[in-house]
Chain A
């Protein structure tokens, strides 16, 4: 039996040598299928280059921040154009009194050193 198996192993080697080779026609058919079913080249997406405005916008903090800045700018322009009254004049209009928290040197020395001297009121 061993001899028979040795013979068989020899024969397997001989059979393997007789292997059929693929014909050119078969390879052409296989390659035609490959071409027909090949997915297209995967295009590499080009990342758009950041422009000057994109850089500025990013530095400011984005579109939301830009909207806030624009609003503040317009408000500033409007305040400058309308010239609203000074705050002191606004207070006078409302109360009719001027509260002098820090009297000048003259008032300080003329009115003595008491609390009354420091915080005097002036009638308009």
Chain B
């Protein structure tokens, strides 16, 4: 039996996964449309590499397809499970990068003054993206999930398999570090240099 696509868009992740496991040909598309954009965003923020981020998103979805027949309903949320898979895949790739090139610094690629010449919003956003890449992995993970993906602290705690207080600490330290990194570039980014900070 194939359910109409409109009906599927209202179904929960878990319901879609069960439908997929039962052979519904449309459920996979609905689930992919819902999850892939978010996974890709997260992986891109973590890896700062579009190609690698795509590979991670695909790999995470592949693992989801594979586990679908054995998925035990009611035990874990699909979204939490797959966020964790992406987080782990990103961590693995970041570790490999360090092993391959120990001297590869976390300096932003677009740190050249020319890239920040215009005092427009997109430049400031680009500066923040660049600053994010300089954060330690765990801080970056927590900050991205909290402030860019809008997850709650308990959700992040479950994904990162740490306590809620540890998440709060990571995000607070991450934000402080980002503020410090951006503070020195306020004039370049179009903020009033005399702002408190």
Name A residues whose Cβ lies closer than 8 Å to a Cβ of B. Answer: 1-5, 7-9, 11-12, 14-23, 26-27, 29-31, 33-35, 37-42
Contacts and interface: CB of A to CB of B under 8 A. Distances in A.
Chain A residues touching B, majority SS: helix
Interface in B1-45: 20-23, 25, 28-29, 32-33, 36-37, 40-41, 44
Given A11-B124, A17-B125, A18-B125, A34 B196 contact: no
B121 interface: yes
Contact of A8 (B28, B37, B53, B179): B179
Nearest to A20: B44
Contact of B175 (A8, A14, A15): A8
29 contacts: A4-B179, A4-B197, A7-B179, A8-B128, A11-B128, A12-B147, A14-B128, A15-B132, A16-B148, A18-B122, A19-B37, A19-B44, A22-B54, A26-B40, A26-B58, A27-B36, A30-B36, A33-B58, A33-B61, A34-B29, A34-B61, A37-B65, A38-B21, A38-B25, A38-B65, A38-B68, A40-B23, A41-B23, A42-B23
Interface secondary structure of B, over-half rule:
helix
Contact of A14 (B33, B125, B132, B191): B125
Contacts of A5: 175, 179
Contacts of A18: 122, 125, 129
B195 interface: yes
B187 interface: no
B62 interface: yes
Interface of B: 20-23, 25, 28-29, 32-33, 36-37, 40-41, 44, 50, 53-54, 57-58, 61-62, 65-66, 68-69, 121-122, 124-125, 127-129, 132, 147-148, 175, 178-179, 182-183, 191, 195-197
Contact of B122 (A12, A14, A21, A33): A14
A15 B129 contact: yes
A8 B23 contact: no
Given A23-B54, A37-B68, 4 more contacts: A8-B182, A15-B128, A38-B25, A41-B23
B28 A31 contact: yes
A9 to B, nearest CB: 8
